[in-house]
Amino acid sequence: MCIKLKQFFQMILIPLSLMLASCGPKDSVTVLKLGHALETGSSVHKGMMHMAERLDYYSNGQMKIEIYPSSQLGSERELVELLQIGSLAMTKVSSSPLESFVPEMKIFSLPYVFRDQAHYQKVLASEIGKSLLLAPEKVRLRGMGYYDAGSRSFYTVDKAINSPADLKGLKIRVQKSQTSVDMIAAMGGAATPISWGELYTALQQGVVDGAENNPPSLYLSRQYEVCKYYILDEHTAVPDILLMSLHIWEGLSPEQQGWLQQAVDDSIVYQGQLWEQASNEALAAIEASGVEIIRPDKTPFIEVVKPMKAKYKNTPIGELLDAIAAQ
């Protein structure tokens, strides 16, 4: 176990018995701890704050959520591992790194799976989306809902990208997802997995030549300060997933589960309302800062990754691709 995680256990964690402790039958309060890696200005963090407010309302103060943003409690992977052993109640994780726990999640890291935003939202709300959300239960994680994270696009320090050929030889930061690594390789780049918290410095020092993410993430992280170009190729639509420790979920009463799920559902609606505005405002602010916004022809990007996706033919992922295309 890494030193950071040991320190986390020693200095921060409250034992599960205390996390779910009550002060007596009438004064019982269940406190759920939620850790995530995003900045407090993100629409997802604001959605979680709304969730905490709604849970307090639905439970009449009997349940509360304490939120620890900005990787205070560890990296995304560390937080997921803490959920698995029941030492943390909830977290938000991008579906890409989740694929190392749940292989089905790699569907979201494959490029150009969804025709447009309407198709993406339709799939998430379908039986396909629901089954993917419940797939983590086999690794002691319960998917509670999807938060909108828009589409991911490339941004680079000093080279404009107008086609996949321009990515040749460039070191591009990706999440810790083998599928993301394969996608960059298919486009001619060199994928470099780096944690989100270390990316600004990596871009600044030339460890990587670029990265890929949605407009609010690029803006709130201030990584646009060291990048000259933002290329809106929109290669993937990778949702954020709100996860809960299955151990802690199963320890709640049916009534408590109902309160919590309703609060989660309310927060998803609220975050979705914030997302489009946040994305548009972030893009405008990035452009105003001097970053050149490039809107390339997506056709060459779509074509170059077709062989990568074809490798999944006659596999469960290939069947999932076909089912999504039929939606």
Mean per-residue pLDDT, 11-28: 45
Does position 249 have pLDDT exceeding 80, yes or no? yes
Beta strands 90-94; 152-156: pairing state: unpaired
* Angle made by CA atoms 50, 55, 59, in degrees to the nearest 5: 155
Q: pLDDT-based confidence at 5, cuts 50/70/90?
A: very low
pLDDT confidence bin for 58, thresholds 50/70/90: very high
Q: Which amino acid is at 190?
A: A
Are 296 and 235 in contact by the 8 Å Cβ rule? The answer is no
Spatial separation of the C-alpha atoms in residues 285 and 223, rounded to whole Å:
12
Phi and psi, residue 193, nearest 5°: -70, 125
Average pLDDT, the chain: 92
Q: Is 14 exposed, middle or buried (0-12, 13-18, 19+ CB in 10 A)?
A: middle
Domains of the chain: 3-107+116-149+238-280 (3.40.190.170), 152-236+290-325 (3.40.190.170)
The fraction of the chain above a pLDDT of 70, given in percent, is 92
- Look at 6-10, 104-108, 180-184 and tell me which has the smallest mean pLDDT: 6-10
The 10s digit of each residue's pLDDT in 110-137 is: 999 999 999 999 999 999 999 999 999 9
Hey, CA dihedral for 268, 105, 37, 200, is it positive or negative?
negative
pTM of the model: 0.86
Q: How many other CB atoms sit within 10 Å of the CB of residue 6?
A: 10
pLDDT digits (tens, 9 = 90+) for 261-306: 999 999 999 999 999 899 999 999 999 999 999 999 999 999 999 9
